[in-house]
Homo-oligomer: A and B are copies of this chain.
Amino acid sequence: MPLSKRLSEKKLIEQIRRLALGGRSVSTGIGDDCAVLRVPPGHDLLVTTDFTIENVHFRRNWHPPELVGRRCLTRGLSDIAAMGGEPRAVFLSLAVAVAVPQKWVDRFLKGLLDLAKEFKVPLAGGDTAESPAGIQADIVVVGSVPKGKAVLRSGAKAGEQIYVTGDLGGSAAALARLAESKPMGAEYSKYLRPQARIAVGQSLRRRGLASAMIDVSDGLSTDLEHICQESRVGAEIEAEAIPRAQIGRGNKERGNKERGKKERGKKELAKKLIALDFALHGGDDYELLFTSAAVVPAQVAGVRVTRIGRTTRSAGMRLIGADGKRQPLLAAGWEHFA
């Protein structure tokens, strides 16, 4: 249906154009061959692209469209955060099959643009196309950072401390809950709305507190391995130090833990072990993982920061258990819908 395709594409472009914000960095936005952006003098440019694909990164019957849109942009913003940068403009390439209801697209765009507004970053362009099946969105975020000051993955030295912001594993645990078709309480669903740590990343960069940094998008073990490989160091992580997301009944019952401890002992333990796996290998938390030669405050830009281990001269990653025993830690990133 070529004509309807053309019309619906045109409609989508106009819809995005109407919804798009102007912005200080964008001198020409949607409606020309390219967007024209101003980069502040003395700044480097940051560019990141992230695909969000139906049935790979989200499922239409699991994820509300607003959250898909929000997360689509969060992925890009989080990459800017991991460089200590400032987001300046967003580009969205969106391919949608004819069978996808317009309402879904409306709500997806609302989620994405509401978040763009929160971060005061304009939608400056993109592309639209008809997809043969499902939804494919590619988000591009352009940012800036003072020249030469981007925090890379390659800056860690042996003997530094390893830190992480916020909690880990919440997103994976919420997804596992969805996969079991169990009801989602508010304790879970907040983990479907991860926050890009832009302010934390900038603060760490300005204060020189991060020697290497990455966002936890593929899971702690996988993303830590990226830092290790790029920096040519090893790492030791203390299992007990990892800040795990606390969700579901386990959370509510914390106060009553002493009561019935004996009866539920085994079950509680099993629960915790599962949570550690989520925290070690679960993705999509978008917290910042970084190394530092300095002592980092317990809070940065209002977000809790936890020391979880240290870099080592000897290659490879090791997990130190509660009993002090070391075992190899292998990168085993969370698989969506595994």
Contacts and interface: CB of A to CB of B under 8 A. Distances in A.
B152 A28 contact: yes
B34 A47 contact: yes
Given A5-B335, A27-B44, A335-B2, A51 B150 contact: no
A309 interface: no
A233 to B, nearest CB: 16
A267 B240 CA distance: 83
B34 A46 contact: yes
A268 interface: no
Given A2-B335, A34-B80, A37-B45, 5 more contacts: A2-B337, A34-B47, A48-B125, A49-B91, A51-B95
A140 B91 contact: yes
A333 B37 CA distance: 29
Interface string A45-60: 1111111011111000
A83 B95 CA distance: 25
How many copies the complex holds: the figure is 2
Contacts of A215: 33
Interface of A: 2-3, 5-6, 27-28, 31-39, 41, 44-51, 53-57, 78-80, 82-83, 85, 89, 91, 93, 95, 124-134, 136, 138, 140, 142-143, 145, 147, 150, 152-154, 213-215, 230, 333, 335-338
Given A6-B333, A47-B91, A56 B132 contact: yes
Given A47-B89, A47-B140, A49-B91, A83 B133 contact: no
A9 to B, nearest CB: 10
| Top 4 closest pairs, chain A to chain B, by CB | A2-B335, A138-B138, A33-B82, A2-B338
Contacts of A34: 46-48, 79-80, 82-83, 85, 143, 150
28 contacts: A2-B338, A3-B335, A28-B150, A31-B230, A32-B152, A32-B230, A33-B79, A34-B82, A34-B83, A35-B46, A35-B47, A35-B48, A37-B45, A38-B147, A45-B45, A45-B142, A47-B89, A47-B140, A49-B93, A49-B138, A50-B93, A51-B95, A53-B95, A56-B129, A56-B130, A91-B140, A95-B136, A140-B140
Contacts of A130: 53, 56
Contacts of A54: 132
Contact of A38 (B45, B48, B230): B45
Contacts of A79: 33-34
Nearest to A55: B132
Nearest to A222: B6
A230 B130 CA distance: 25
A220 to B, nearest CB: 15
Nearest to A138: B138
A86 to B, nearest CB: 12
Nearest to A44: B36
A324 to B, nearest CB: 32
Contacts of A337: 2
A142 B47 contact: yes
A32 B83 contact: yes
A41 B41 contact: yes
